[in-house]
Amino acid sequence: MPSFTDKLTVGGSDMDMYAALPDGPGPHPAVVIAFHVGGLDDFDRTMADQLAEAGCVAVVPDLFHRYSQEIMDGPRLDRLGHLKDADIIADMNAAVDFLTGNSAIDNDRIGVTGFCMGGRIAWLMAATNPIFKCTVPFYGGNIMGNWGPGDTPFSMAANINCPMLFHFGSEDGNPSPDDRVKFDAELKRLGKDFEFHTYDGAGHAFMDYTNPERHHEASAAAAWPRTIDFFNKHLK
């Protein structure tokens, strides 16, 4: 299974992007992955590789490419304070442009997913780019807050016109149980196509096998096949 790291240019800045490809000539469906606060690491690359094994081209843009080394060497959660939604949208759309400019990709079969902060971004991108045919946010927090000027992902829910699959940990505080109730009520009010799965005993980042304190093996083992089935249904 081929994989590589490419450089894209966004606003005059070079941005690394990891890509994993299925075997065969295509055209293939594709998924853009919004990474977690750990950045472009082994976890994100493994998720991309697993999507490629399932038949989707998967790309992971480095959303921290504007950051100084000082920020990257500091506390991981401090990285969130430097993010701006306008920059995130530009970076994710650059990854989309990479895909749509490649003849091996079927432009009518592109989805988006993300983990942690990337779960929030998966909602944000479904609300701001209609190319996405489905979205799978994993435990996305801060959906009702904005990063920089502009609307919140939550306030843009009416713009989402693709099926959504959400994964939550029952013990997660962000998104909290109250947050999930609000998400559910708003998406139902808007008549959106969505499903929620909440995993007992799992906290935040339960998919992250590189973090033994947070990884919840049983929940991850249930959530990932559901995700692949969802992408197979809506992208193939």
pLDDT at 163 exceeding the cut of 90: yes
Task: Say what the pTM is.
Answer: 0.97
- The span from the CA of 73 to the CA of 131, in Å, is 35
- Mean pLDDT computed over every residue of the chain: 96
Answer whether 206's CB lies under 8 Å from 169's CB: yes
Q: To the nearest whole percent, how much of the chain has pLDDT over 90?
A: 91
**What is the torsion angle, in degrees rounded to the nearest 10, for the CA atoms of residue 159, residue 178, residue 31 and residue 11?**
70
What string of DSSP letters covers 86-120?
HHHHHHHHHHHHHHHT-TTEEEEEEEEEEETHHHH
Q: Quick one: pLDDT at residue 36? A: 96
User: Is residue 129 pLDDT above 90, yes or no?
Assistant: yes
The whole domain housing 93 covers 3-235
Distances (CA, A) of 148 to 13, 80, 88, 163, 213: 19, 11, 11, 27, 31
Percent of the residues in the chain that have a pLDDT greater than 70, as a whole number = 100
The region of weakest confidence among 1-5, 29-33, 68-72, 168-172 is: 68-72
For residue 12, give every residue at least 6 positions away whose Cβ sits within 8 Å of its Cβ, in sequence order, or none: none
Report how many domains make up the chain: 1
Strand order in the sheet with 194-199: 3-10, 13-20, 57-61, 28-34, 105-115, 132-138, 164-169, 194-199
CATH number of 188's domain: 3.40.50.1820
pLDDT tens string 39-94: 999 999 999 999 999 999 999 999 999 988 898 888 888 898 889 999 999 999 99
**Can you state the percent helix, strand and coil of the chain, rounding each to 5?**
40, 25, 35
